[in-house]
Structure 1
Amino acid sequence: MTDLRDAAMTSKAWPFEEARRVLKRYEKAPPEKGYVLFETGYGPSGLPHIGTFGEVLRTTMVRRAFEVISDIPTKLISFSDDVDGMRKVPGNVPNRGMMAEHLQRPLTSVPDPFGTHESFGHHNNAMLRRFLDTFGFEYDFISATEFYASGQFDEILKLAVERYDDIMKVMLKSLRDERQQTYSIFLPIHPETGRVLYVPMKSVNSADHTITFDDEEGREWTLPVTGGHVKLQWKPDFGARWAALGVDFEMFGKDHSTNAPIYSRICEILGTKAPETYSYELFLDEHGQKISKSSGNGISIDEWLTYASTESLSYFMYAKPKTAKRMHFDVIPKAVDEYHQQLRAYADQDTAKRLANPVFHIHGHNVPASTMVVPFAMLLNLASVSGAEEKEKLWGFINRYAPDASPEKNPDLDQAAGFAIRYYNDFVKPTRQFRAATDQERAAMEELVVCLRDAEKALDVIARKNAQEGKDMPLPAVNWQDDEFLQSIVFAIGKTHGFDPLRAWFSGLYEVLLGASQGPRFGGFIALYGIDETVKLIEDGLAGRLIG
């Protein structure tokens, strides 16, 4: 453990860098509350999207890293700002007409359009918790509705009244002139309509911690700031929540970064040290637009898990959080294969490299071994050429390539085979475009067929390639199950037929035989699909039988 902690204290992996910043807060004394608090926030104005999940996952990674370098206990809170008034009806929910009648009411007072929960806010909170529970996160959930109404927030709200002028000075500097005239940090909840009101204050009374205001019809009201009668505007709410809970670390999207100093200053005015913060880049859809809860663009968590494992999604979230990422279906195969590459690498790495490996931050100290003996991208191509509708058909090919593999011994591979068939049918099959071979490609593919049928011809083309390159190399041993031997044949044919650049040869194979612009390492594909099957595939491609 000492060696691990020493290595973690110098690791450049971003979760350890953030964990060390948190630890520095308590280099003189441990936290009075007895633990270090990590927080994530969620605004349930729409269905939880994959970015919401990513925020909890990444915060959990920092929390795990902290637990490596410190013995101070930790907690993670997922906080839902469900008192927020519904400003617009989300575009991806049913019964939108009914919801329109409840604009500006707190989300936990808006009826659930799905008819499954007591409110829209409760529905979205339940969805968030289901997603988080799917991934086994350890967290405490807090609803702002309960936080305000139960009195847990009362002392900070009273302090906000007493220090109202100081907080207003911070806020007014950030507002346009016209907004300054009507702005207040307090948003009263109308006693009759239940709507969250954006109205100016006539008075803020520190003696009895009440606010006085006129509603939209000009009627005067006085309400206590405690007990859930008001809520704070979202920027003051951020800082006040930090102060009330004693938050030590929170991350948020880049769109919050300009407001972070405001959150921190309000937290300090309310008597608490502001937390360490981390700003990550936003998730984008396939068109480069920011993923939005209300529009429902991008991939949902359920959609990702329809086509790939939870671990592959965690891997995608770990990598380069400071870089904007496009969240669309094309990224899934790459994430799956890179995750398993890192698993295989982990087994032979020293401590420092393990701490920099994404799989450590996904699994902690219990990193599993990969049982994926065939890459996911290869399974997709196998599903394509074999027309497999059930994973059992893929296993027939897999066992030819890896006789010792089985669904029981290779659960990762078995799961991936099912995912590959689903992904192929939904995304690859509808977009396949086969074309005819050029004269150069036809001649090369015809020779490839000859070489796959005759070992002597195969060795001859390899020898010709070596001579062309001026290399005096021994010829490889003939092994029709060895993907390296098969790859050397494919490579040699591309060289001797004058493809320049050589990738044009491989592109031709993919486009003529697989109907795609990219594809697998072709020697490995032949070994997996089979010699006779590959020969027939090439003959069908050259005869034009794959087109249309």
Structure 2
Amino acid sequence: MAEDPYEVGRGGSRAFWADSVADAIEARDPDEPVVIKGGVSPSGVPHIGHFNEIMRGYYVAEALRDRGHEVRQVFTADDKDRLRAVPRQLADLDWNVVGLGEVDAGALGRNLGKPYTDIPDPFGCCDSYGAHFTTLLRKSAELVGVDVEFVSNTELYADGEFEPVTRRVLERADRARDVLAEYQNKVDDDYVPFLPQCEECGKLTEGVTSVDLDAGELTYVCEDVEAGDQTIEGCGHEGTASLRDGKLPWRFEWPAQWEILGVDFEPFGKDHAEGSWPSGEDVAENVLDIQPPVPMVYEWFTLDGEPLSSSSGNVITVDEVLDILEPEVFKYFFVKDPRKQRDFSIENVDQLVDEFDRFERRYFGEADGSKDEMELAERAYPMVVDEPREQRVRIPYTFAAVLGMTDDPELREEIARREGHIPDDAPEWAVEGALARVERAQEWASLTNNEFNYELKRAEIPDVSFDDATAAALDELADFIAEGHDGEAIQAEIYETAKRNDIDIGEFFSAGYRLLFDDTEGPQLGTFVAKLDREFVVERFRRNE
């Protein structure tokens, strides 16, 4: 029996889960190179949930490399799988997500039941549908700086890599049926663990009628196939297929990959932990006579509280994430315990950045933390960044969003320096890196339409005038802000100041918005101005040029 996938990487004295996984792998005394695998069907737009598997493998690979092991991290594109449904959204190679109305959706519908690599690319730029979405996944890894070897299942079948293990499964068909019957209904005495590809229509079928292992062939009838709540019609053709003209069913194909690639460790989502893993372990040990790899289960991500789903269109791609986050911040997201479900909240992404900044400061001894937090930073931070550099400068994310409210690069730097976010002795590369966060924070403000998605009129005071009572109230509020109060206190004082001066509260808020944005509406004023540079707010409310 393999290790419990729910326990691998948990507990012990390690602060970083990847080190605990590395311990479990080393306990088996594996041959070199140690092989770490992930995989996914290229069924549609790859999102950060798919990337979960790459990053979990990456950290374990890095932990092993730190211990002197040679490591091969591979990721299988399970592109011999059949297209079971037409996705709601697709994406071109520039990550432009489009609806089905912008491509030939009818062509996809006509290709249901065929392997992804036998379906034309809807955008016409890659060899197939499968190649297109595998390319996007590969580009995701490149964007984050993770070196992964992608392996095509279709190519493994075509090159004969699957043939010996396929033959062994078919030779032991009775044993395979007995194992599969423990996990799957409708496994009768006629069940054959192979899906021939119809030579007439190109669809994968389950209608095997005979097996001739001496000739290395199967005969079949192209039958209808149930795919979820729909039926994919077969063409009725009767034909013959070799052991390369089709594929193993998933519950056999996964353990076959372990043998072919010599896999030592594979992480997987909880859906596999409760379904495919138990059967895969059983098939490996009792049909293939191999040891399954060290397993580890990880929890799924949600996106703003909803499940990630390519088919439903609720996705965020790595490319989109990197519009609002530095790659190292995104990589840090995967440092966290993989067993806890986490929500990737676009609205609250500033909290993730703040957390990363503390993580980074702990590594350089500039922030306190618990014993585990300090050990985690010491261990994982060098895997998160390309190169640890103590002079690197981070502008707080929400303040970077404030700077993004003005388009003047020189003014942005001037304000950041004045507020102490860029040290006087910071090297030029560090200044450039710090200010690069502004563009990402500005994109975040636009994407979420939050309080920073306004044009702050810094260059000059808008042409506005106020009656004496409002002018006096603005001066009082400026004095209060100058004392250094927080946002909640400022918000409360706005009401009190308006009341003392007998001013309509709505008109008083409008006065503030007019001074800041030349508009009568805006974000919650008190909490917002507390996030701005105080000197600017005080001078603006005093109407000083």
Normalising by structure 1, we get a TM-score of 0.76
Match of 2:72 among 63, 71, 75: 75
Matched residue of 2:38: which SS?
strand
Matched, 1:49 2:66: no
Is the Cα contact below 8 Å between 2:529 and 2:537 reproduced in 1? no
**Aligned AA (1:291):** L
Is the Cα contact below 8 Å between 1:82 and 1:108 reproduced in 2? yes
Paired position in structure 2 for 1:20: 23
Match of 1:533 among 515, 533, 537: 537
Is the Cα contact below 8 Å between 1:240 and 1:266 reproduced in 2? no
Q: CA deviation at 1:138?
A: 2.4
Q: CA deviation at 1:183?
A: 4.7
Listed one character per residue, the Cα deviations across residues 471-524 of structure 1 (whole Å, up to 9, x for unaligned) are xxxxxxxxxxxxxxx3589979989x99xxxxxxxxx99xx87715995893xx
**Aligned AA (1:395):** E
**How many residues of Structure 1 are paired with residues of Structure 2 in the alignment?**
470
Listed one character per residue, the Cα deviations across residues 123-154 of structure 1 (whole Å, up to 9, x for unaligned) are 11111111112222222221011100001121
C-alpha change, 1:218 and 1:256, in structure 2 (3 Å) is same
Paired position in structure 2 for 1:246: 262
* Cα separation, 2, equivalents of 1:239 and 1:53: 21
Match of 1:311 among 328, 347, 356: 328
Is the Cα contact below 8 Å between 2:360 and 2:381 reproduced in 1? no
Paired position in structure 2 for 1:515: 523
C-alpha change, 1:400 and 1:148, in structure 2 (3 Å) is same
* Cα separation, 1, equivalents of 2:38 and 2:491: 56
Is the Cα contact below 8 Å between 1:343 and 1:369 reproduced in 2? no
**Aligned AA (1:172):** A
* Cα separation, 2, equivalents of 1:24 and 1:103: 45
Paired position in structure 2 for 1:436: none
Is the Cα contact below 8 Å between 1:432 and 1:515 reproduced in 2? no
**Aligned AA (1:166):** R
**Aligned AA (2:148):** Y
Paired position in structure 2 for 1:150: 159
Paired position in structure 2 for 1:336: 353
Paired position in structure 2 for 1:419: 440
* Cα separation, 2, equivalents of 1:518 and 1:258: 50
Match of 1:356 among 365, 371, 376: 376
* Cα separation, 2, equivalents of 1:138 and 1:493: 49
**Aligned AA (1:343):** E
* Cα separation, 1, equivalents of 2:191 and 2:542: 71
* Cα separation, 2, equivalents of 1:95 and 1:117: 15
Match of 2:84 among 78, 87, 91: 87
Q: CA deviation at 1:366?
A: 4.0
**Aligned AA (2:340):** T
Q: CA deviation at 1:538?
A: 8.6
- 1:8-407 alignment to 2 at 5 Å? 10-26=13-29, 30-31=30-31, 34-69=32-67, 71-93=68-90, 94-177=103-186, 180=188, 183-199=191-207, 201-216=208-223, 219-225=237-243, 228-259=244-275, 260-268=277-285, 269-286=287-304, 288-348=305-365, 355-357=375-377, 359-360=380-381, 362-363=383-384, 366-369=387-390, 371-383=392-404, 387-402=405-420, 404=424
For structure 1, which segment, 206-215 or 356-365, has the greater mean C-alpha deviation from structure 2 after superposition? Answer: 356-365
**Aligned AA (2:433):** D
* Cα separation, 2, equivalents of 1:520 and 1:361: 35
* Cα separation, 2, equivalents of 1:420 and 1:203: 62
* Cα separation, 1, equivalents of 2:348 and 2:133: 26
For structure 1, which segment, 348-357 or 306-315, has the greater mean C-alpha deviation from structure 2 after superposition? Answer: 348-357
Listed one character per residue, the Cα deviations across residues 31-77 of structure 1 (whole Å, up to 9, x for unaligned) are 2xx321100102101121111222111211011112234x3321111
Q: Which runs of 5+ in 1 are unaligned?
A: 1-7, 434-441, 459-485, 499-507, 541-548
**Aligned AA (1:536):** R
Is the Cα contact below 8 Å between 1:282 and 1:325 reproduced in 2? yes
Is the Cα contact below 8 Å between 2:487 and 2:526 reproduced in 1? no
C-alpha change, 1:366 and 1:211, in structure 2 (3 Å) is same
Is the Cα contact below 8 Å between 1:38 and 1:250 reproduced in 2? yes
C-alpha change, 1:490 and 1:51, in structure 2 (3 Å) is closer
Matched residue of 2:83: which SS?
coil
Matched residue of 1:38: which SS?
strand
* Cα separation, 1, equivalents of 2:283 and 2:83: 25
For structure 1, which segment, 325-334 or 150-159, has the greater mean C-alpha deviation from structure 2 after superposition? Answer: 325-334
* Cα separation, 2, equivalents of 1:449 and 1:355: 45
Matched residue of 2:334: which SS?
helix
* Cα separation, 2, equivalents of 1:72 and 1:370: 31
Larger proportion of helix: 1
* Cα separation, 2, equivalents of 1:277 and 1:452: 56
Q: CA deviation at 1:102?
A: 1.3
Is the Cα contact below 8 Å between 1:340 and 1:372 reproduced in 2? no
Q: CA deviation at 1:534?
A: 3.4
Matched, 1:450 2:479: yes
4+ runs of 1 displaced by more than 4 Å?
A: 179-183, 349-355, 429-433, 442-448, 487-495, 516-521, 537-540
* Cα separation, 2, equivalents of 1:164 and 1:393: 73
**Aligned AA (1:401):** E
Listed one character per residue, the Cα deviations across residues 431-489 of structure 1 (whole Å, up to 9, x for unaligned) are 979xxxxxxxx999865522566xxxx5xxxxxxxxxxxxxxxxxxxxxxxxxxx3589
For structure 1, which segment, 363-372 or 233-242, has the greater mean C-alpha deviation from structure 2 after superposition? Answer: 363-372
C-alpha change, 1:77 and 1:489, in structure 2 (3 Å) is closer
C-alpha change, 1:124 and 1:207, in structure 2 (3 Å) is same
Matched residue of 1:334: which SS?
helix
C-alpha change, 1:389 and 1:97, in structure 2 (3 Å) is farther
Listed one character per residue, the Cα deviations across residues 395-431 of structure 1 (whole Å, up to 9, x for unaligned) are 2311222362576432331111121222223323589
* Cα separation, 2, equivalents of 1:210 and 1:409: 64
**Aligned AA (1:191):** E
Is the Cα contact below 8 Å between 1:388 and 1:421 reproduced in 2? no
Is the Cα contact below 8 Å between 1:391 and 1:418 reproduced in 2? no
C-alpha change, 1:37 and 1:521, in structure 2 (3 Å) is farther
Is the Cα contact below 8 Å between 1:190 and 1:196 reproduced in 2? yes
For structure 1, which segment, 394-403 or 123-132, has the greater mean C-alpha deviation from structure 2 after superposition? Answer: 394-403
Is the Cα contact below 8 Å between 1:36 and 1:74 reproduced in 2? yes
Q: CA deviation at 1:209?
A: 3.7
Normalising by structure 2, we get a TM-score of 0.76
Identity of aligned residues (%): 25
Matched residue of 1:367: which SS?
coil
Paired position in structure 2 for 1:505: none
Matched residue of 1:127: which SS?
helix
* Cα separation, 1, equivalents of 2:386 and 2:408: 35
Q: CA deviation at 1:189?
A: 0.6
C-alpha change, 1:347 and 1:406, in structure 2 (3 Å) is closer
* Cα separation, 2, equivalents of 1:18 and 1:515: 46
Across the aligned residues of Structure 1 and Structure 2, the Cα RMSD in angstroms comes to 3.8
Listed one character per residue, the Cα deviations across residues 56-103 of structure 1 (whole Å, up to 9, x for unaligned) are 11211011112234x332111111010111111211132211221211
Q: CA deviation at 1:18?
A: 0.9
Matched residue of 2:313: which SS?
coil
C-alpha change, 1:73 and 1:354, in structure 2 (3 Å) is farther
Is the Cα contact below 8 Å between 2:284 and 2:291 reproduced in 1? yes
* Cα separation, 2, equivalents of 1:444 and 1:335: 38
